[in-house]
Amino acid sequence: MKTFGPLWQLALAAPVGLYGLANAAVLSAGGIGSLLSARLTLAKPATIVGVAGLLVATSLTLVFVRNAVVVILAQGVLVAGGVGVSMVFTRLLHDSLPSGVRAGAASGVGALSSMAFVFFALLFGVVSQHAGVFRAGWMVVGVALLAGALLVTVDVDRDFI
């Protein structure tokens, strides 16, 4: 969302003064997500389902809501939740691997994530250019659904307590 956030502000004709505040809110949300990730454990299924639902709900806000302030708040929540979930999965990766392969595995996951993001960004750009940012927002909803489903599946299928 840090990369695509201004597209919604442009589409909503948000006041110029809002851009700096929006950028600060979304960038700060990443730090907040890092802090919250320590509390996000797979030992609490209700929390996991709640976070997954929150990710999906805030991503749907980007598709349906046409209020710049609400969209910016949703972007902040989406970034914080995304960072928190990402850190949980990174923690699981590190905890499940022997120390001799952790760095290589984490590097591989990072490289694959970057490649996936480039593909997503290109596709998002094409869709938003031809159909608009609100329709392209469905791609964000899809990623949120996928992340939420993976989070819940990992929580249900394995015992991390």
The residue written with tokens 């249900």 in the block is 156
Residues contacting 49, CB < 8 A, separation 6+: 152
pLDDT over 70, % of the chain: 94
HSE at residue 20, side-chain half, CA atoms within 13 A, is 2
pLDDT digits (tens, 9 = 90+) for 58-77: 999 999 999 999 999 999 99
pLDDT band with cut points at 50, 70 and 90 for residue 160: very low
CB 72 within 8 A of CB 102: no
pLDDT, mean of residues 29-52: 82
pLDDT band with cut points at 50, 70 and 90 for residue 56: very high
pLDDT digits (tens, 9 = 90+) for 72-130: 999 999 999 989 888 888 888 888 888 888 888 888 988 999 999 999 999 999 999 99
pTM, to two decimals:
0.87
| DSSP conformation class of 132 | -
As a whole number of Å, the end-to-end CA separation of the chain is 31
Q: Which of 26, 9, 8, 27 is nearest to 18 (CA)?
A: 9
